[in-house]
Amino acid sequence: MTRFALTLEFDGTPFFGLQRQATGPSVQQAVEEAAQAVTGEQATLHAAGRTDTGVHALAMRAHIDIEKPIEPFRLMEALNAHLRPDPIAVIACESVADDWHARFSCIGRAYEYRICNRRAPLTLERGRAWQLAPPLDAEAMHRAAQSLVGLHDFTTFRSVQCQSPSPVKTLDRLDVRREGDHVIVEAAARSFLHHQVRSMVGCLALVGMGRWHEEQVAEALAARDRQALGLNAPPQGLYFVRATYPDAD
Q: Which of 96, 123, 156 is the last residue of a domain?
A: 96
One domain, residues 128 and 82: no
Annotated catalytic residue 247: no
Catalytic entry in 52, 99, 181, 247: 52
Residue 217's pLDDT is 98
Residue of 49, 200, 187 whose CA lies nearest to 111:
187
pLDDT score of 248 more than 60: no
> Tens digit of pLDDT for each residue in 173-199?
999 999 999 999 999 999 999 999 999
Give Cα separations from 7 to 10, 60, 61 (angstroms). Answer: 10, 5, 5
Residue 125's pLDDT is 95
Residues 6+ apart with CB under 8 A from 119: 133
Mean pLDDT of 7-19: 95
Task: Determine the distance from the C-alpha atom of residue 81 to the mean position of all C-alpha atoms in its chain, rounded to a whole number.
Answer: 25
Calpha distance 194→50 (Å, rounded): 9
> Tens digit of pLDDT for each residue in 52-99?
999 999 999 999 999 999 999 999 999 999 999 999 999 999 999 999
One domain, residues 60 and 115: no
Residue type, position 76, single letter? M
Residue of 128, 13, 5, 24 whose CA lies nearest to 75:
5
Answer for the pair 174, 247: CB distance below 8 angstroms, yes or no.
no
One domain, residues 113 and 229: yes
Residue 23's pLDDT is 85
Q: Which of 68, 96, 124 is the last residue of a domain?
A: 96
Calpha distance 242→190 (Å, rounded): 11
At 199 the three-state DSSP class reads helix
- What pLDDT band is residue 222 in, cutting at 50, 70 and 90? very high
One domain, residues 146 and 46: no
One domain, residues 145 and 192: yes
pLDDT score of 142 more than 60: yes
One domain, residues 31 and 51: yes
Mean pLDDT of 154-174: 93
Backbone angles phi, psi at 65, to 5 degrees: -100, 130
- What pLDDT band is residue 44 in, cutting at 50, 70 and 90? very high
- Is 74 within the bounds of a domain? yes
Residue of 204, 164, 211 whose CA lies nearest to 184:
204
Residue 249's pLDDT is 47
E-state strands within 80-181: 88-96, 108-116, 130-131, 150-153, 168-179
pLDDT score of 156 more than 90: yes
Calpha distance 208→5 (Å, rounded): 39
What is the bridge-based pairing of β-strands 56-66 and 238-244? parallel
Mean pLDDT of 120-134: 96
CATH of the domain at 197: 3.30.70.660
Residues 6+ apart with CB under 8 A from 52: 12, 17, 195, 235, 238
CATH of the domain at 53: 3.30.70.580
- Is 113 within the bounds of a domain? yes
Q: Which residue range is the domain that position 58 belongs to?
A: 2-96
Mean pLDDT of 37-62: 95
Residues 6+ apart with CB under 8 A from 99: 105
One domain, residues 82 and 139: no
Mean pLDDT of 243-247: 91
Percentage above 70 pLDDT, the chain: 99
Instruction: Count structural domains, the chain.
Output: 2
One domain, residues 148 and 33: no
- Is 172 within the bounds of a domain? yes
